[in-house]
Structure 1
């Protein structure tokens, strides 16, 4: 029985090695790493990704599919829910690094099944709502940047956060993560996190101004 770690890296400044190191530091023993690069979790279904599709052939009954969080499987409610359910149907256990959640199809108890499926549905919905929150922040930043277009010759101070750190911060805050938890996950200062939380459009506009 193998544990395969799947990572989806949607932008150039997201780091596959960081995701893997986070899993290993949490105590997971990884037998193989499979990743999709430059793939959107919103517009591309899991089964349509080159390596997402391969996992349906690679994983066998009794194997474990490990992901950092369910949003690595996708950011579309139906796609995430159906993907987890399909792997469980095949006897594959799905686990997350964050919160150490485990989903499998072993239980036959209807109450346990109902609780498990409800949690899968909730997390799938959270993945989509987080993506929508990020998109809304981007729209707000673009609008602010356009409104100040005549003044863009002065870019202001370069942001202390990357695009990936910004997106991850928005995602974690949408999941009601604490400031300390966000800082630990992203490596950002509390001041930077507060700015992203309280002045999201301005923080996004700063990234746009610097071409990030």
Structure 2
């Protein structure tokens, strides 16, 4: 009997496993089991290197459905994400995302459909890595300078959390409208326009307050 497994990964304080599961269930997913890695980076570890990520490869069978909030929960590396999704598809596992409700499986034999599917997987994986690199660039280029001496003025506190920032970037990269992103995140359109206009600056501001 097939089952639906939700995989969550959290690496910062303002993300929670419970929140990711609530998002999935609110989107209509009926989850049989939750597998989660808490406090684990997707930049420095591959899915197979994480304790619970490794467990996914052991437990998932043909016909099972693997649900993730977005592909960046699987990893922040293009190679890691694409290889993981292809490995699951090869064993007959269906991979679905909460954001944009994407579905990836190995059912089709049509070369055109396969090409479109693989191109989309590659694009989403590349976006996940680009977001991670933007975060690192923000840390290198501006955080230390922006923080300055202890007690220095940090500007207005951001109205978004780390998970909201990731969701905005992910949905925007997939072509979602500002109205759709606002509904999904609860953020104002003005905030979303500001994030989309300068995502690196948005990361810098958030890190400045997370000191």
State whether TM-score is above 0.5: yes
Out of 74-83 and 122-131, give the one that drifted further.
Answer: 122-131
Structure 2 CA distance, aligned partners of 1:194 and 1:188? 10
Structure 2 CA distance, aligned partners of 1:41 and 1:84? 15
Structure 1 CA distance, aligned partners of 2:172 and 2:143? 21
Query: Cα 1:180–1:54, aligned 2, differ >3 Å: closer, same or farther?
Result: same
Aligned residue for 1:162? 161
Shift of 1:165: 2.9
Shift of 1:19: 1.8
Out of 36-45 and 191-200, give the one that drifted further.
Answer: 191-200
Aligned residue for 1:153? 152
Out of 68-77 and 94-103, give the one that drifted further.
Answer: 94-103
Structure 1 CA distance, aligned partners of 2:104 and 2:35? 19
Query: Cα 1:24–1:211, aligned 2, differ >3 Å: closer, same or farther?
Result: closer
Aligned pairs (5 A) from 1:101-112: 101-112=102-113
Out of 20-29 and 4-13, give the one that drifted further.
Answer: 20-29
Structure 2 CA distance, aligned partners of 1:194 and 1:107? 38
Aligned residue for 2:31? 30
- What TM-score does the superposition give when structure 1 sets the normalisation length? 0.85
How far does the alpha carbon of each residue in 1:82-130 deviate from its partner, in whole angstroms, 9 at most, with x for none? 1011111111111112222221122233333233222222222222122
CA-based RMSD of the aligned residues comes to: 2.5
Aligned pairs (5 A) from 1:24-173: 24-142=25-143, 144-145=145-146, 149=148, 152-173=151-172
Q: Which runs of 5+ in 2 are unaligned?
A: none
**Count of equivalent residues:** 210
Query: Cα 1:196–1:32, aligned 2, differ >3 Å: closer, same or farther?
Result: same
Query: Cα 1:152–1:190, aligned 2, differ >3 Å: closer, same or farther?
Result: farther
Structure 1 CA distance, aligned partners of 2:161 and 2:113? 41
Shift of 1:6: 0.8
Q: Is the 8 A contact 2:99 2:171 kept in 1?
A: no
Q: Is the 8 A contact 2:7 2:36 kept in 1?
A: yes
Aligned residue for 1:3? 4
Structure 1 CA distance, aligned partners of 2:169 and 2:141? 13
Q: Which runs of 5+ in 1 are unaligned?
A: none
Look up the SS of the partner of 2:29 in the other structure: coil
Structure 1 CA distance, aligned partners of 2:199 and 2:123? 25
Q: Please state if 1:195 is matched with 2:188.
A: no
Query: Cα 1:145–1:170, aligned 2, differ >3 Å: closer, same or farther?
Result: farther
Structure 2 CA distance, aligned partners of 1:154 and 1:42? 30
Q: Is the 8 A contact 1:46 1:73 kept in 2?
A: yes
